[in-house]
Amino acid sequence: MSDFILGAPAPLNVHLSRLAVVEVAGKDAERFLQGQISAQVGHADDRFAPYGVFCTPKGRVIANVQLLRAEPERYWLITPTSLSETLRAHLAKYAVFFKTEIRQRDDIGLYGLAGEDKRINEWLEVATLPRRTGEVQRDDQRWLIRAPGEGRVLALGTAPSGAEAATRAIESRWWLEEIRHGVAWLEASQSDAWLPQMINWEALGGISFKKGCYTGQEVVARAHYRGQVKKRLARLAVEGDATIAVGDPVLDRESGKSVGTVVAVEPNEQGGSEMLAVVTLREAPIALSVGSAEAARLELPYAVERLDPETLVAED
């Protein structure tokens, strides 16, 4: 199977039902979050929204997020809908001694826009767009964040002109592009299952190894510095209409043994499926399958190595 060549996606303007916002607001919001998230909270400002994770004390990912500072003393954690209540409840346990309020913001619409910038500008009724991944732009109606890849924008707030309702088929196109760009948004069934490095979150600039302590930090740092990460995110594809779901095992085709787990999967334009899976590292590549379908390895669009978020902020 030939690899899919990343480029400008087909036009898309859709409500994203599979993303939600958990708000952390109050005088102590920044200080509280700094002790909980893998990102440097100070990097979230008027210009940039970093990736981050919230972990258990054992370093396992409870939820992965993109951190947006909506205004001073008010932060929005953009996270999968299936994990939003889990994340809110987790944070509430640690917030007792901080002047913060934590709540889900069901009133905030999230929209995925893709295509040529000119078309996106028309939908949003703006003259310019954020240019690089994570860059933020705000106007009177909404916040805009540049998503990974060419011609993709995440919008929060008022619905763009012509936005389509979230049906699985239409919304799936947004999530397929996230898979193609190596961004694994975890579902509830995958919470507390992986170290953040196993979903390549440090390769996306989602872990600061230069900040102080946060819940799970010691385990995450030890795994990094001692080379103890034995599983990594892989990008795979299968042909045909095989039914594949999150949580399905990835198998060594020769032995039939499980060597990984699917963490994100969507149908593609060719009638097959593309997915991200956490797979055991091996010195030599092995032939893989998911269910009865042969799985082809596809390249990730980034190097699987540490990317310090401090370097991303320095590019401003």
**At 100, which CATH number?**
3.30.1360.120
Tell me how far apart the alpha carbons of residues 61 and 65 are, in angstroms, rounded to a whole number: 10
Same domain for 150 and 45: yes
Is 183 inside a domain boundary? no
Residue 129 near residue 153 (C-beta atoms within 8 A): yes
pTM for the model: 0.95
Tell me how far apart the alpha carbons of residues 256 and 178 are, in angstroms, rounded to a whole number: 29
Q: Give, as one character, the DSSP assignment of residue 190.
A: G
Is 308 inside a domain boundary? no
Residue 243 near residue 259 (C-beta atoms within 8 A): no
Is 7 inside a domain boundary? no
Same domain for 269 and 241: yes
State the amino acid at position 229 in one-letter form.
V
pLDDT of the residue at 55 = 98
**CATH number for the domain harbouring residue 210:** 2.40.30.160
- Our count of domains for the chain comes to 2
Alpha-helical (H) ranges within 95-146 are 117-124
Domain containing 155 equals 12-178
Nearest to 18 by CA among 110, 104, 91, 85: 110
Segment 257-263 shows an average pLDDT of 96
Nearest to 205 by CA among 143, 136, 134, 253: 134
Same domain for 160 and 61: yes
Percentage of the chain modeled with pLDDT above 70: 96
Is 239 inside a domain boundary? yes
Residue 144 near residue 154 (C-beta atoms within 8 A): yes
pLDDT of the residue at 5 = 46
Same domain for 224 and 115: no
Read off the pLDDT of residues 138-188 as tens digits, 9 standing for 90 and up: 999 999 999 999 999 999 999 999 999 989 899 999 999 999 999 999 999
Tell me how far apart the alpha carbons of residues 228 and 222 are, in angstroms, rounded to a whole number: 8
Same domain for 275 and 163: no
pLDDT of the residue at 2 = 42
Distance of CA 266 to the CA centre of its chain: 15
Tell me how far apart the alpha carbons of residues 293 and 244 are, in angstroms, rounded to a whole number: 9
Tell me how far apart the alpha carbons of residues 15 and 18 are, in angstroms, rounded to a whole number: 9
Percentage of the chain modeled with pLDDT above 90: 89
315 pLDDT above the threshold of 90: no
Same domain for 115 and 159: yes
